[in-house]
């Protein structure tokens, strides 16, 4: 009985807690936006450099205790940025431009910056 009440209490808390980051409704804001500047970049060398730059900035935020312990979701967006940019980078290294991951990389990075300011 105690276990059932505890489970119910946790379920209610999760249900009423607002989602701040990478849920599908927030990602929909990224899909409604115009293509990223990354997608428009013609030079693969410049594109790779930019994706790595965004990824490295996200790694710095994700490793910074100031953001890890913050109430702002910058850490969560940094983690999402690392994944998206890492995937985009992997595809680029294989000579494939995955526009979806490039868009996510730039969008998630901009969301991270939004919560840092």
pLDDT digits (tens, 9 = 90+) for 73-106: 999 999 999 999 999 999 999 999 999 999 999 9
All residues at 6 or more sequence positions from 16 whose CB lies less than 8 Å from its CB, including other chains: none
In a domain, 4, yes or no: no
In a domain, 57, yes or no: yes
Cα distances from 113 to residues 9, 22, 25, 82, 117, in angstroms, run: 34, 14, 19, 13, 7
Separation CA 2–CA 48 (nearest Å):
54
| Containing structural domain, residue 82 | 21-116
In a domain, 31, yes or no: yes
Taking each helix axis from N to C end, the angle separating 99-116 and 44-62, rounded to the nearest 10 degrees, works out to 40
The count of other CB atoms within 10 Å of the CB of residue 91 is 17
In a domain, 56, yes or no: yes
- pTM score > 0.75 for this model? no
Confidence of residue 117 (pLDDT cuts 50, 70, 90): confident
Q: HSE on the CB side for 105, CA within 13 Å?
A: 32
User: How many domains does one find in the chain?
Assistant: 1
In a domain, 11, yes or no: no
In a domain, 16, yes or no: no
In a domain, 83, yes or no: yes
In a domain, 9, yes or no: no
| pLDDT given for residue 30 in this prediction | 72
If DSSP codes are grouped into helix, strand and coil, which group holds residue 63?
Answer: coil
Cα distances from 39 to residues 42, 50, 86, 92, 103, in angstroms, run: 8, 11, 15, 12, 7
């Amino acid at each position: 009985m105690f276990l059932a009440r505890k489970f119910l209490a946790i379920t209610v808390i999760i249900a009423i807690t607002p989602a701040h980051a990478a849920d599908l409704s927030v990602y929909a804001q990224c899909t409604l936006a115009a293509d990223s500047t990354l997608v428009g970049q013609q030079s693969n060398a410049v594109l790779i450099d930019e994706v790595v730059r965004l990824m490295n900035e996200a790694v710095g935020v994700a490793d910074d205790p100031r953001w890890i312990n913050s109430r702002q979701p910058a850490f969560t967006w940094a983690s999402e940025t690392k994944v998206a940019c890492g995937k985009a980078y992997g595809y680029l290294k294989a000579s494939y431009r995955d526009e979806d991951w490039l868009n996510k990389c730039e969008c998630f990075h901009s969301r991270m910056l939004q919560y840092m300011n």
